Amino acid sequence: GENVEQHPSTLSVQEGDSAVIKCTYSDSASNYFPWYKQELGKRPQLIIDIRSNVGEKKDQRIAVTLNKTAKHFSLHITETQPEDSAVYFCAGHPDMRFGAGTRLTVKP
Amino acid sequence: DTGVSQDPRHKITKRGQNVTFRCDPISEHNRLYWYRQTLGQGPEFLTYFQNEAQLEKSRLLSDRFSAERPKGSFSTLEIQRTEQGDSAMYLCASIRQGNTEAFFGQGTRLTVV
């Protein structure tokens, strides 16, 4: 299956700052790249995804960028808010193997 | 609730006992995944089904674990001779044919004492 590696494992930012989480993958044939958010005690939920035919996708304060040459994709959160505090996971496709997660803490 | 449903929500069992969990995916979702998640870790892939076919099984999954999806609808995950290290949250997710977003159930929390 597709293995994904995620960095950093923890990230602490001040409210209003930006946060960037990076995920690398191994299978050059991969064509779909999702990011999931898991709040404490809740189930993971998809927040944004990107397909290999585009390099960037935005949805309000979150964006995902894809670098197929380097085989990595990144989650960008701008103007962070305390409610962005959660664990974020990237995943491979279609076997949906998740990265180890990044615990984001946004300090007010 | 028409989302992914898992049963039971909590299970406490004695070491050495067998346990079985059930997952009902969203109707018409043909792909179904099982994961194990421990505190502070990401969901660890266990296995996945496309309809009734089990397409992949993690190498980390010991022979004490088995999963079925006999009619391509609900799935069961059985753990035989449970060990304390099996204590975790077991998550199920499903994806619709031709789609990509995975929808997760609320999980079954297993505690082996």
If pLDDT is split at 50, 70 and 90, which confidence band does A15 have? very high
Q: CB–CB of A52/A29 below 8 Å?
A: no
Interface probe for A, chosen from B100, B101, B104 (most Cβ of A below 10 Å), is B100
Per-residue pLDDT at B68: 95
Give the C-alpha separation, B33 to B29, whole Å.
11
- How many percent of chain A have pLDDT more than 70? 98
* Cβ–Cβ below 8 Å for B43 and A1: no
Q: CA A27 to CA A43: how far, in whole Å? A: 27
pLDDT at residue A1 in the model: 61
Residue B6: pLDDT band by 50, 70, 90 thresholds?
Answer: very high
pLDDT digits (tens, 9 = 90+) for B19-54: 999 999 999 899 999 999 998 888 999 999 999 999
Closest to B42 (Cβ–Cβ): which among A32, A89, A94? A89
- Sheet of A56-59: strand order equals A4-7, A19-25, A72-77, A62-67, A56-59
Quick one: residue A79, left, alpha or beta (phi over 0 = left, psi -120 to 50 = alpha)? left
Give B74-108 pLDDT, tens digit per residue: 999 999 999 999 999 999 999 988 778 999 999 99
DSSP state of A99: P
* Mutation target among A31, A49, A97 for the B interface, most CBs of B within 10 A: A97
Query: Which residues in chain B are contacts of A64 at CB distance < 8 A?
Result: none
Chain B residues whose beta carbon lies within 8 Å of the beta carbon of residue A46 = 101-102
The Cα of B84 is separated from the nearest Cα of chain A by a number of Å equal to 21
CA closest to B4 among chain A residues? A43
Of the two residues B77 and A3, the one the predictor is more confident about is: B77
Instruction: Tell me the mean pLDDT in the region B55-72.
Output: 88
The predicted model gives A64-79 an average pLDDT of 95
DSSP-derived pairing of the beta strands B65-68 and B88-95: unpaired
pLDDT number for residue B42: 87
pLDDT score of B60: 72
pLDDT in tens, A27-67: 888 889 999 999 998 999 999 999 988 899 999 999 999 99
